[in-house]
Structures are given as structure tokens and as C-alpha cells.
Structure 1
């Protein structure tokens, strides 16, 4: 009977699924209206009707994925790798302000470092200059005091006094004229002449600071050669005084004169 379960408990298949629909069981013998054949009799039902929504959804998802990938690819190509990409405008402003602050700090540090270097360089140069000046002053004082030897351009003066007639005053005048012309160091024979030196004795027996001199008197002097030479040869000067006293004086320029006698 239709609609009743079979002997094994399974419900009967619905009409049209593999079996012909039953005809009417009426009392007349009119022919039954034929039914259109079912498409299911030729094989399994096609799945396109059931799978159409799934296919549409899959196509939509695939299109979205492809579109997103294309967008990412375009943005990756057009925009370089930038650590601030995607930042908000407010964040970018803060980042720029921080960069400006750091740049200003670095500039100040560079300026301070340069100033320190300049100060050190200038300080070293000033220190070197001060040391050099101090050494030069010490040497000059040593030369004037007669405690240091000296070498340089100057004059060699030879005073001949064969008769012993040249007085101490003439020799003293020669020393003073040389000092006035800028002499830096003076030596007579083996005696160093300094500020406190004194010329004493009588003609033929002259002394400087107690040391006896012997004629001819050899005077070595360092200083401006031209000025000293003019001072000695001026009319009525030292050369004339020596001649009037009975002696002779010869003045010679020299590129290098040694004054090596020292004061004890």
C-alpha cells in the first residue's frame, strides 16, 4: 500500500523517483492521461540547481581576493617602503617635530664641539706663543747680563795702540756709541761687557771690570751693522778720537760674530 513503510522499515520512495506514477483507480474505463516522462529516469539529478549559490559565493570571494591582491600589489609598486606610511596626520606632525628637535640638538652639539676644538687650538697656540716669547725674553736677558753666549751679524773692531797712548775714555766712548746704535752683545778681548761694566786704568794699562786688557784691543759686537758702523765713523766720533790719541781703529763688517765670553 502507498505511503506505508516496507518490511525493512524504510519509507517508500516518492512518486517519480525511479517508478511510474500510479494511474487512477476509477470505475470507468477512460484512458489515463499520460504524464510527461521525468528527467530523473535517465540518471542522477543534475547538481547545478543545488550548487548555484555556492558557485556564486565562491566566485565573489575569489574576485574580492584577486581585487585585494591587485590593490596591494599596486600600492607596493607605487609607494616605497616608508616607516611612516599609514600614520595619521597628527602623528606625522609629532614625528616631524621630534625630528626637528633632534636636528637642533645635534646642531648645537656640533657647534659646541667646534667651539671647544677652536678654544683648545687657540689655547694651545697662545700657550706655544707665550712659551716662545718667554724663552726669547729669557735669552735676551741672558745675553744682556752676559750669562749666555751670542752669535749673529755685527762688527769686528781692532784698536791699535802701539805706543800705549789711547786713554780709557776713548774705549768707554766706543762702548757707549755701540750701545746707542743698538748693540746687543759686546766683548772686548776676553771680557764680556755688560750694563754695569766699568773701563778703568791708564793708557797702556786699561782694564774692564778689573781685567787687564792687552793691545791691540779686539772688540766684537753683535747688532745692526750699518747703524753701528755709522756711529763709529761719524765725524768727530770714535775712529777720529782713536786717531787723535795716537792709535788706529779698523772697523769690519761680519755676517757672523761670536760673543762667547761669559760673566761669572
Structure 2
């Protein structure tokens, strides 16, 4: 009967083989399960890092999708409201500009109208191109009808402002002969030489004074001498004193 085999190392060589088997048994062996476990560990690490970053961020990144949609809608509504306010402010600005321009234009037109009425009424001085009619009458042969004819001819020729001597000629101006051989213009006596200033188209006014049988011809016929001087600027500075009506009152304008 044979004796059982004894596997216990009995020498140095057997001892070295035993230690090598132990090292191989303790070292990890590459297998599918080991690789899967490694991949899971890496994925878990990345997930933990991403979660840490996400939780550390503040603001919109922490909100849900529905909350982001609501915030975006609110922003759009605020933007529309601000755009509407901008349009309203721009409209108000344009209205103010147009109203200011309109008021300034109305004031300018009213001032021009007032100046024109002042010239026509004789309450404002005037200057412009025109003529200067000078009648020399040392013997005082000229009567009031000659000065009246001169004024009427000048008006018909388009004169816008007329002055006889130191008297402004307006619609109510009248002429009369005085007892001493002089001429009264609306109560103010004028003496030779008679000087008439008229503002208007110079050539037209001068032509009206020099027509055959007109003012200059009539002055020469009675023994006086008349001359017409065309000027680029004639100044009519005599003003009419406006008196307050004693009985007349303006009629109020009826509103529809």
C-alpha cells in the first residue's frame, strides 16, 4: 500500500513557488466585471462633480424650465411696455415741438399783422423804397386840392405809407385851405416847400406823379415847381395819435 503524497514544501525551491502563487492570487485580474466597475466609478465621479457645480451656481441655472419660461414671458411683457412708453414719449415730444412751432408761427404772423395794421393806421413808423415829392411854392399859389390829388394818385399807385410834411396820412386825413394862404392837413398847418414822402414801388409812384396833366404838370401850371426823387429807402416817421372813442364800443363776437 503506497504512502500518501505530502504536498508541504520541503525545500527552498518549493518555498519560492508557494510565494509566487500567493502574489498571483492577490493581484487583480483584468476582467469584464473589473472594467465595468471602473467605468461606473468614473461615471459616478463625474456625476458628483456636476452636481456640486450645479448646486454651487446661483440665479437662472437653478430654476426649472417652467420658471424660465415664465421669466422670459415677463421680460417680453416689460419690453413691450417700455417700447410703448418710448413711443408715447416720442409722440409727446413731437407734439410739443409742433405746438411750440405752431405757437411761434402764430405769434410771428400776429406780430406781422399788427405791424402792418400799425403802418396802415399810422401808429407805427415805416421805411422802405419809395419817392420824395418836393413842391417849391414861394408865392403860395398851391392850394389844398393839389396836395389832395397827389395823395390820391400815390394811393392809387400802391403807396403803403404817406407823410405830408410832419403829418401822417391815413384814411381819415383831410385837407383844407387856411385864411393866410396856407394848407391845413388834419388841423396841422404845412408850409412850403411841401414835402411828401411815400413808400411803395419807386418807379410806379414816380410815374404816377409825372403823367401828363398830373401833379407835377399841375404844379408848374399854377406857378410852382415839383420834383420827384426816387430813393432806395424812404422813412415815414410821423405817427398818428389814437384817441379813445367816446361813444363807440366794439361789438362782441358771437360764438356758435
Relative to its length, the structure with more helix (as a share) is: 2
* Residue of structure 2 in register with 1:235 after alignment: 212
* Residue of structure 1 in register with 2:3 after alignment: 31
1:210 aligns with 2:187: yes
Q: Do 1:161 and 1:204's aligned partners in 2 also have CA atoms closer than 8 Å? A: no
- 1:194 to partner: Cα distance: 1.9
Change (3 A) 1:64 1:93: closer
- 1:141 to partner: Cα distance: 2.2
Q: Do 1:154 and 1:222's aligned partners in 2 also have CA atoms closer than 8 Å? A: yes
Where in structure 1 are there 5+ consecutive unaligned residues?
Answer: 1-28, 72-82
Distance 2:199 2:92 in 1: 45
- 1:109 to partner: Cα distance: 3.0
- 1:212 to partner: Cα distance: 1.4
1:61 aligns with 2:40: yes
Distance 1:91 1:231 in 2: 93
Change (3 A) 1:93 1:60: closer
Where does 1:110-259 land on structure 2 (aligned, <5 Å)? 110-201=86-177, 204-259=181-236
Q: Give deviations 1:193-240, integer Å, cap 9, x for gaps.
A: 222111111594111012111111011112222222222223332222
SS in 2 for 1:34: coil
- 1:31 to partner: Cα distance: 2.2
* Residue of structure 1 in register with 2:85 after alignment: 109
Distance 1:225 1:65 in 2: 108
Q: CA RMSD in A?
A: 3.8
- 1:43 to partner: Cα distance: 8.4
- 1:175 to partner: Cα distance: 0.8
Distance 1:189 1:42 in 2: 150
Distance 1:199 1:52 in 2: 139
User: Which 10-residue stretch deviates more, 182-191 or 33-42?
Assistant: 33-42
- 1:67 to partner: Cα distance: 7.4
Where in structure 2 are there 5+ consecutive unaligned residues?
Answer: 51-59, 242-256
Which stretches of structure 1, 4 residues or longer, exceed 4 Å deviation after superposition? Answer: 36-41, 49-58, 65-69, 90-104
| Structure with greater Cα Rg | 1
Residue correspondences, number: 222
- 1:262 to partner: Cα distance: 2.1
Distance 2:218 2:150 in 1: 9
Distance 2:233 2:120 in 1: 18
SS in 2 for 1:148: coil
User: Which 10-residue stretch deviates more, 207-216 or 39-48?
Assistant: 39-48
